[in-house]
Structure 1
């Protein structure tokens, strides 16, 4: 890994590893061989679920178990973790086998999400639960602050699709308008075409899927949903 990328990532994480090999291991996909991040990922997954569960328990004292479970699922699902990974620009730091690198593994949601969980596991192993909790809650600060018991369980694309179906309208059409940046750090501009709107909604993100969801959310807002 490039040392500059390595240091930059640690600054974004808000944590500097005393043993840099722990971070290297957390970023090592199984395609590099037996010395990979799967064990740290296993540990980090459990720790993340606990930290977020406790945060939700404290934030919503009147919430029922089912409501808390739904919100936790939204917070710890792979898609959310992949978004966090992109915010930290983890992709270019990943250690991948040649085949995985050529197939775009550093942009794949599942690999990015696993790396975030592995980093959580690595921080826990080195610094313990208190430091690990502080880092995770800092990463999730904005998401937790904007979360409410009324937060929809379905994502914007699903909600927009159901809205159009309920009105017997054609389904939304998502088109990639532009792709900028180097292969390892592409930015997608997506247009969401909706028959009930006279102009498409455009959104940019480092993932086509995220850009589609952003444009769908903007379309829902214009539709008054």
Structure 2
């Protein structure tokens, strides 16, 4: 694809049409590509710097207004999680933004297009580019759309609790008992030491999890148990609505 096609496809992916496409070109251009280019090009580090602050403001404003009784400490932890490298990289992967990144040859062959740090920087740069192109309102629209599922499923009341604690409190409330974990060690096909944990409630196997430690395996089992409960609840609710 030529540059114009890449810009058009990127705009389609982010559902925003730039008034000034030079902002988008700068946002998707990595330093290594600019250095190898015969023409003098801007690259995305400055936009990344701007976008980081714009994104932080948008998410902070949302949390401040949505959770108007929550304390600053909790809101800070939630915001940090939402704007973490992993969150931004995951969103970039969902939008397939890595497909539009302009990289130098060395970064391209080493897999830089899909590295989390690259995708984090790219997302922030695009936020900064939209902000420069048309202001905070459209930047916020883009961010809110990209974060829709994460914000919809945000359980701020349980944010500080781990999955085992949440599952235990739920089971104690519903069944007047506590979940029991049974774990054992094994070696995978590469002979790496691994753990598998199964969680039981009243001798019924709720789910299982795998991890590099006993704690990690039990946490994964609790997480899957909660997901199973949520899935069953949604199915029951849907069936009732269809009657």
Counterpart in 1 of 2:152? 145
Q: Which moved more, 1:126-135 or 1:75-84?
A: 126-135
- Rate the CA distance shift 1:101–1:174 in 2: closer, same or farther, 3 A: farther
Q: Equivalences for 1:74-85 in 2 at 5 Å?
A: 74-85=81-92
| Aligned-CA RMSD value | 3.6
1:6 aligns with 2:7: yes
**Superposition misfits of 4+ residues, deviation over 4 angstroms:** 1-5, 153-156, 167-176, 197-202, 215-218, 222-225
- Rate the CA distance shift 1:24–1:173 in 2: closer, same or farther, 3 A: farther
Counterpart in 2 of 1:17? 18
Unaligned runs of 5+ in 1: 160-166, 177-191, 203-212
Counterpart in 1 of 2:173? none
Q: 1:67 aligns with which of 69, 74, 98?
A: 74
**TM-score normalised according to structure 1 size:** 0.71
- Rate the CA distance shift 1:173–1:70 in 2: closer, same or farther, 3 A: farther
TM-superposed deviation, 1:21 = 2.2
TM-superposed deviation, 1:130 = 1.3
Q: Supply the distance in 2 between the matched residues of 1:154 and 1:109 (Cα, whole angstroms).
A: 26
- Rate the CA distance shift 1:174–1:119 in 2: closer, same or farther, 3 A: farther
Q: Supply the distance in 1 between the matched residues of 2:115 and 2:127 (Cα, whole angstroms).
A: 19
TM-superposed deviation, 1:175 = 8.0
Counterpart in 2 of 1:99? 106
Q: Supply the distance in 1 between the matched residues of 2:159 and 2:189 (Cα, whole angstroms).
A: 25
Q: 2:137 aligns with which of 98, 110, 130?
A: 130
Q: How many equivalent pairs are there? A: 191
Q: Deviations over 1:153-176 (max 9, x none)?
A: 5887xx9xxxxxxx7945798889
Counterpart in 2 of 1:194? 196
Counterpart in 1 of 2:241? none
- Rate the CA distance shift 1:47–1:154 in 2: closer, same or farther, 3 A: farther
Q: Equivalences for 1:145-184 in 2 at 5 Å?
A: 145-152=152-159, 169=183
TM-superposed deviation, 1:83 = 0.7
TM-superposed deviation, 1:41 = 0.3
Q: Equivalences for 1:197-212 in 2 at 5 Å?
A: none
Q: Which has the larger radius of gyration?
A: 2
**TM-score normalised according to structure 2 size:** 0.66
Counterpart in 1 of 2:61? 54
Counterpart in 1 of 2:239? none
1:111 aligns with 2:118: yes
TM-superposed deviation, 1:29 = 1.4
